[in-house]
Chains A and B, each alone.
Chain A
Amino acid sequence: MIRTEEMLLNVGPQHPSTHGVFRIVLKIDGETIIEATPVIGYLHRGTEKLAENLQYTQIIPYTDRMDYLAAMTNNYVICHAVETMMSLEIPERAEYLRVIVMELGRIASHLVWFGTYLLDIGAMSPFLYAFREREAIINMLNEICGARLTFNYMRVGGVKWDAPDGWIEKVRDFIPYMREELAGYHDLVTGNEIFLNRVKGIGYYSKEEALDYSLSGANLRCTGTSWDLRKDEPYSIYERFDFDVPVFHTGDAWARYQCRMQEIEESLKILEQAVEQFPEEGPVMAKVPRIIKPPKGEAFVRIESPRGEIGCYIASEGKKEPYRLKFRRPSFYNLQILPKLLVGENISNLITILGGIDIVLGEVDG
């Protein structure tokens, strides 16, 4: 009779596949996980508390540092919340610029996910291919706002800078290029037998469980629930674009992969239309008072970030600073299902499942 012992394994906070400073304390028997306890908070900076002492425009750079892979959507959610409270009218050109940069950000974010996920699974090259395309996007965003990651581009009432000459053409040229590269990814990865074996049926949860855990984004759409705020609760000018919401039904890592890859294509569709309809000229900033003071009251807005529903709640007392500010950070909510999914899996699957959820630690810890 072989006597086996349980072993406590500390995965993270420094580990190649925890995508930042995330820690999981595992109780394992051989390689089988018996219990998993996630430990978060290594990157907590207290954004929400800090915001209480900051003027609204000053909060925007802090949002860049939450989900640093898709900072444009974070910029937008806070601006959108303040604009909703103040009932501001946003100029056309600014709205189009916002949509274009947000969709570019979504593609860049999904590319990072694709690359690092494959790196987790053990394939090396897709990572470099994905980062090459992301580099093209980052260069474009750099041109429009002068930063590669922490953009600080949007303002209450519009955007800070207009697009430089020829920028829209660059975005237009990028679309067919990205489509071509995407087809290349599918050739290299999507049909690969080893990849399919690694992701099919791994990390399954049902529609009900997904809703119980308040999952959103691709993590929810992989279970057959069609829920995309761009479609279901259109904000900005998304109702003008014709695009589909990719929905898959198997609820496993494979569905999440397909979902995200499809979303890149849908984002390209939106970009194509936005570039086509882009107004020739016009202001990029609405008429807003020098000091932004939303009226007394509260507001909650939510938009679709690459990782799911990002929400912003503001309670204002009519002052320059918010009385209370709260972000609904999708990575944090999506991560909650992890301990449940890990029980009974082995360490290889741990990496597949964690990677499939697509977390950004800056956002989890806030």
Chain B
Amino acid sequence: MMEDILYAQPGWTHVAIFFALGAALLMTVLGFVTYAILAERKVLGFMQMRTGPNRVGGRFGLLQTVADVFKLLIKEDTIPKLADRPLFILAPVIAFAPAFMVLATIPFSENMQFADLGVGLLYYVAISGISTIGILMGGWASNNKYSLLGGMRAAAQMISYEIPLVISVIGVILFAGSLNLNDIVRGQENIAYIFLTPIGFFVFLISSIAELNRTPFDLPEAESELVAGYHVEYSGFRWAFFMLTEYVYLFAMASLTTVLFLGGWMPIPFLGFIPGMLWFGLKFSLVVFFMIWIRGTLPRLRADQLMGFAWKVLLPLALLNIFVSAAVKELFL
């Protein structure tokens, strides 16, 4: 469907359809974020033997996040006097926009994809790199020492972990023979790539948690050290934008993990009658649950250990993975 619109004569109808689709995706993502936050709080609550949100919106706190967002919306918008005003205002937008842009290439099911790019994977990796600038900008513009430290940590961490992240997916590209995310999913018809490149999956998963700034790699906003890190001076809706970035990236990263390693919308053998969308949702939820689980379990790393881990452990492993994947492809497939 998207192809037809793309190659048809441009007209106002097409623009409107595109706009509507974009808005629909944005709404879907916002809906996900709303309930991902609730799910995170509920799952953490369950792991920590407490109930989690249970007041707003019935027994399960279904409207808790909605109420929280509403509160953030009506909050006074404060900008510190000595902050770099234009940068301070721009930073959350720059952090958020790429998080949403990368979603365009994710194939959610056989025919649910917004842009079937030939270099979808490359596009994802390249665009997601921009967010770092937004975070660094926010940390710098706040004119606060804690934010500055948080912004520096974020920049160092995200750049370091991007490298093993990218190298770890080369194994997948070797097997699929394409950078197109749809082709990658189709390549997993018989066997999911997690079984073919387990090392790649391991490196990818760890690097993606680090990319997302989640525990145990939440140094840029380490509460007990830097108070709130790069967004310490942000409040109200600007702060919500940073949080949104984080959760949209969680959505995007879990989707990418599903697509690259878990077979995307491909069903498990003999269960093909269940629609692809549901399979995607199921695998995707597993990845998200895993990340919440990690958050409930592990303490935080130290900055130098974090860098050491990226360069000394993950990078060599990722390089080894290329060799192993190539060997597996040559010998067994």
* A residues apposed to B, CB below 8 Å: 7, 9, 15-17, 31, 118-125, 128-129, 132, 188-189, 192, 194-195, 197-198, 346-351
A124 touches B48 (CB 8 A): yes
Q: List 20 A-B contacts (CB under 8 A).
A: A9-B145, A31-B303, A120-B224, A122-B215, A122-B216, A122-B218, A122-B299, A123-B297, A124-B296, A125-B47, A128-B49, A128-B50, A129-B48, A194-B216, A198-B299, A198-B302, A347-B149, A348-B225, A350-B225, A351-B225
Which residues of chain B come closer than 8 Å to A31, judged between CB atoms? 149, 303
Contact of A16 among B47, B223, B298 (CB under 8 A): B223
Apart from A121-B299, A197-B305: 6 A-B pairs, beta carbons within 8 A: A122-B215, A122-B222, A194-B301, A198-B301, A348-B225, A348-B300
A-B residue pair count with CB separations less than 8 angstroms? 80
CA distance A272 to B149 in the complex (A): 49
> A158 → chain B, closest Cβ, in Å?
38
B48 touches A125 (CB 8 A): yes
Interface status of B226 (Cβ within 8 A of chain A): yes
* Highest count of chain A CB atoms <10 Å: which of B222, B297, B302: B302
> B108 → chain A, closest Cβ, in Å?
32
Contact of A123 among B49, B299, B305 (CB under 8 A): B299
> B266 → chain A, closest Cβ, in Å?
34
CA distance A75 to B88 in the complex (A): 53
Interface status of B328 (Cβ within 8 A of chain A): no
Which residues of chain A come closer than 8 Å to B223, judged between CB atoms? 16
Which residues of chain A come closer than 8 Å to B295, judged between CB atoms? 124
CA distance A188 to B296 in the complex (A): 11
Contact of B303 among A17, A194, A197, A348 (CB under 8 A): A348
Contact of B225 among A118, A197, A347 (CB under 8 A): A347
> A134 → chain B, closest Cβ, in Å?
14
* Highest count of chain A CB atoms <10 Å: which of B44, B49, B219, B301: B301
CA distance A16 to B232 in the complex (A): 13
Which residues of chain A come closer than 8 Å to B303, judged between CB atoms? 31, 346, 348
B47 touches A349 (CB 8 A): no
CB closest residue in chain A, given B306 = A348
Interface status of B127 (Cβ within 8 A of chain A): no
Which residues of chain B come closer than 8 Å to A350, judged between CB atoms? 225
Interface status of B227 (Cβ within 8 A of chain A): yes
Known: A118-B299, A197-B301. A348 touches B222 (CB 8 A): yes
Instruction: Give a binary string over B146-157; 1 marks a CB under 8 Å from any A CB, 0 the rest.
Output: 100100000000
B224 touches A119 (CB 8 A): yes
B224 touches A351 (CB 8 A): yes
CB closest residue in chain B, given A124 = B296
CA distance A71 to B100 in the complex (A): 53
B48 touches A128 (CB 8 A): yes
CA distance A192 to B297 in the complex (A): 10
Known: A31-B303, A194-B216. A125 touches B227 (CB 8 A): no
> B94 → chain A, closest Cβ, in Å?
25
A125 touches B297 (CB 8 A): yes
> A119 → chain B, closest Cβ, in Å?
6
CA distance A119 to B222 in the complex (A): 11
> A106 → chain B, closest Cβ, in Å?
24
Instruction: Give a binary string over B43-59; 1 marks a CB under 8 Å from any A CB, 0 the rest.
Output: 01001111000000000
Which residues of chain B come closer than 8 Å to A121, judged between CB atoms? 224, 299-300
> A16 → chain B, closest Cβ, in Å?
5
CB closest residue in chain A, given B148 = A7
CA distance A142 to B32 in the complex (A): 45
CA distance A119 to B299 in the complex (A): 8
Instruction: Give a binary string over B286-316; 1 marks a CB under 8 Å from any A CB, 0 the rest.
Output: 0000000001111111111100000000000
B296 touches A16 (CB 8 A): no
Which residues of chain A come closer than 8 Å to B149, judged between CB atoms? 31, 347
Which residues of chain A come closer than 8 Å to B218, judged between CB atoms? 122
> A114 → chain B, closest Cβ, in Å?
12
Known: A9-B145, A122-B215. A195 touches B226 (CB 8 A): no
Among residues 201 to 257 in chain B, which have CB atoms less than 8 Å away from a CB atom of chain A?
A: 215-216, 218-219, 222-227
A194 touches B298 (CB 8 A): yes
Which residues of chain A come closer than 8 Å to B222, judged between CB atoms? 122, 348
CA distance A188 to B48 in the complex (A): 12
> A260 → chain B, closest Cβ, in Å?
17
Known: A118-B299, A122-B224, A198-B302. A129 touches B216 (CB 8 A): no
CB closest residue in chain A, given B222 = A122
B225 touches A123 (CB 8 A): no
Instruction: Give a binary string over B90-106; 1 marks a CB under 8 Å from any A CB, 0 the rest.
Output: 00000000000000000
CA distance A84 to B303 in the complex (A): 53
> B296 → chain A, closest Cβ, in Å?
5
A132 touches B49 (CB 8 A): yes
CB closest residue in chain A, given B219 = A348
